[in-house]
Amino acid sequence: MTNNLELQGRISASPLTAAEHALAARMGLEELSPKRFLDAIIHPSADPSNTRFAKLSYMGSAALKMYITEYIYFKYPKLPVAPLTATIGEFYAHNVLFDVAQKYGVQKVVCRLPKNYLTDKTIACQSLLALIGALYWERGALACRQFILNNFCYRLSMNYNPLKHYYYVNSILSAHLRRLQKPRAEYSAMYIMGVYSGEEKLGEGFAPNEKQARRSAAMNALRQFYCVRVEEPDLPSSEDYSATPIEDPGVIFPKAGKEFIGN
């Protein structure tokens, strides 16, 4: 096992092994200086003197949250704060971080003590954040932003539902219609359930029973209003950004707590 003095010598001499070169190439980080790259993959459990790891990891975490928040905010400009917050949280969750780390093989290259109170998964996530921080530190905001867009934000599938955390959507739809001063929602009793405001059809849902069909119809009606997607959102961090008006979110959604139903 590599001891601390050897690791400190590696950082000061800045050599990269073949595996480390390969990781940098897979992640598109070849332009990082070897010293900064090693700062991000030598975990403090293996070398306590590497205090730069924590700072890079902190910076990477902050950059990740900032650019994910920006992307989701402008991708769904009508989405209220509570579902917006829940959606943003999904994209830098621990399992997502590990998926990205695993895709590149970070966990196979990071230097750590084999016996440690932190799991391999946690250390891989911390090292990935440190690599993102190193990218931000050396190559700037635009390069870091593009890496995050490519590896985190573009995971957003076409059929992703930002309101999936909410179960009692019927009451939210009623509040939405009251705000718009439209007639209350009425449901047609069939397995293919339609929801109407007066004669205007707001949405429809499909389910094996009436209760689920009503919920599905209400969910689809809300999605048509609040989950409008901007395919290529104009982001403030881009070079040619032009300010756009902030959308009125309308109904104040409750926090996804008791109503949370998972993925």
Question: Shortest CA distance to 206 belongs to which of 48, 195, 62?
Answer: 195
* 32 within some domain: yes
What is the per-residue pLDDT for 40? 95
Residue 252 lies in a domain: no
* Residue 104 and residue 195 in one domain: no
pLDDT number for residue 158: 66
Stretch among 66-70, 83-87, 134-138 having the lowest mean pLDDT? 83-87
What pLDDT, on a 0 to 100 scale, did the predictor assign at position 60? 96
Statement to judge: residues 50 and 111 lie in one domain: yes
Residue 260 lies in a domain: no
149 and 180 housed in the same domain = no
> Residue 254 falls within a domain, yes or no?
no
- 203 and 124 together in one domain: no
**pLDDT tens-digit series, residues 209-252:** 778 888 888 888 888 777 777 878 888 787 777 666 666 666 65
What tens digit of pLDDT does each residue of 94-127 get?
999 999 999 999 999 998 877 667 888 999 999 9
Average pLDDT over residues 250-256: 62
Is residue 262 pLDDT above 50, yes or no? Answer: no
pLDDT in tens, 21-64: 999 999 999 999 999 999 999 999 888 888 999 999 999 999 99
In a domain? residue 263: no
SS3 content of the chain, % helix, strand, coil (to 5): 55, 5, 40
CA angle, 62 then 66 then 72, to 5°: 145
Q: DSSP label at 202? A: E
Q: Considering its fold, how many domains does the chain have in total?
A: 2
* Residues of the domain holding 222: 169-226
Structure tokens at 142: 């635009």
Please tell me what DSSP assigns to residue 241. -
Structural domain includes residue 255: no
Neighbouring C-beta atoms of residue 181, cutoff 10 Å: 6
Sequence letter at residue 128: L
Strand ranges inside 175-240, DSSP E = 185-187, 192-197, 200-206
Q: Do residues 130 and 174 both lie within one domain?
A: no
| 217 and 98 both lie in a single domain | no
State whether 10 and 108 are in the same domain.
Answer: yes
Tell me the Ramachandran region of residue 262: left when phi exceeds 0, alpha when psi lies from -120 to 50, beta otherwise.
left
Examine the domain organization and report whether 46 and 100 are in the same domain.
Answer: yes
Tell me, what's the pLDDT at 228? 78
